Structure 1
């Protein structure tokens, strides 16, 4: 469930525009996230997600303990991050793509993730937990989106980011995305805790399986029984 790509792309575009206008130059640090979120009148999870997009595209770099630095970049090539060709995709189409891609990503980053990167995931997991505890549906969507985008960013593969943007656009235009209730929110939190734990343990197989199971469960929460190959490694039954 990726949240509003229009909002994130809007924030990405505003940051790019500000950089192009010379307000922040190569090597300069952005304002702190609290200050910057207030300037842009957006939530901090949405800002973090936009920063993650620009990190993956080589525009920004997060420096632990210091902040976010502007890198040398070629912004014209970054203008259109979303493809309109997925606008008619069904939720099952999107889930099948996620099922093919995200378990690979989780397993890949589990191999070489650093302690700083694990800290970033745990911070995003904290945002997710707070949204669940507060019963804040919009916050849950934002935190969920930021978490999955960060996983993509940790691969340093801009093609993965492009695909995730397309997933985001398809889900945004779907009229069948249901509201999460409290029980589902708790399940979602637990599944993400499992994903982070297996990644932290550098267990690629378990991380891939945890993500695979999560996406199968997402399908069931949307009343979709996902069609997958008979020889697929998902041997456990999705949570009911």
Structure 2
């Protein structure tokens, strides 16, 4: 076996990666039975619980499968890419196009399904966004995203909420970069307050068409700005 003892750092991650290499490089072909847990633990210099977690991660990636009473076997030599991993590899403009579809639909649903509690949360989020306009770009973006999350939550569709949550980390970093590169808040610290206020008002009035139109316009304007900034020479 070509494995070497691991260094003390995130051991589960290291163990997972080392075992993954044995599979993806063909040293453990499809159909191979993995060595027993105690042998792997001794070879890698880690505890059996670490090996167990690493094998669980490999199973989640679709590389191995446990067969009751027989052991753990390699079933594939390429990783099944997860949705978050695909998002991280996607261009932000592509992500924004998908966000446009999801969030515009959520705004329409929110206008028809919002509860008094949702309205209270929306107004609180809008006020928090205004207060954050005196802070850093990161603080402002966090407040902006929180308001959008509140709109999605008011749609009362768990699937939409889950999908939007997956977008948040990538959106956050990209929007902070956009504000800094485009200097959008230099002369307008509370950039976009009018459109966000109109969005909350439309949801409160149960006007789904207006809510969709307002949000679509805001997202398309941001997407256009992202594309403009990316086209500029570095």
2:225 is aligned with 1:221: yes
Measured after TM superposition, the shift of residue 224 of structure 1 is: 4.5
- Cα distance in 2 for partners of 1:143, 1:176 equals 12
Long gaps (5+) in structure 2: 1-81, 230-234
Aligned in 2, Cα 1:193/1:172: closer, same or farther, shift over 3 Å? closer
Measured after TM superposition, the shift of residue 135 of structure 1 is: 4.2
Measured after TM superposition, the shift of residue 223 of structure 1 is: 3.6
Structure 2 contact 106–155 (Cα < 8 Å) conserved: yes
Determine the structure 2 residue equivalent to 1:147. 147
Structure 2 contact 110–156 (Cα < 8 Å) conserved: no
Determine the structure 2 residue equivalent to 1:86. 87
The count of corresponding residues between Structure 1 and Structure 2 is 144
Determine the structure 2 residue equivalent to 1:203. 207
2:190 is aligned with 1:189: no
Determine the structure 2 residue equivalent to 1:168. 168
- Cα distance in 2 for partners of 1:182, 1:116 equals 35
Determine the structure 2 residue equivalent to 1:108. 109
Structure 1 contact 171–177 (Cα < 8 Å) conserved: no
RMSD, aligned α-carbons: 2.6
Aligned in 2, Cα 1:172/1:112: closer, same or farther, shift over 3 Å? closer
Measured after TM superposition, the shift of residue 172 of structure 1 is: 5.1
Larger Cα Rg: Structure 1 or Structure 2?
2
1:13-92 alignment to 2 at 5 Å? 83-92=84-93
Determine the structure 2 residue equivalent to 1:22. none
TM-score for the superposition, normalised by structure 1: 0.53
Aligned in 2, Cα 1:112/1:164: closer, same or farther, shift over 3 Å? closer
Measured after TM superposition, the shift of residue 150 of structure 1 is: 1.5
Measured after TM superposition, the shift of residue 159 of structure 1 is: 1.6
Aligned in 2, Cα 1:217/1:185: closer, same or farther, shift over 3 Å? farther
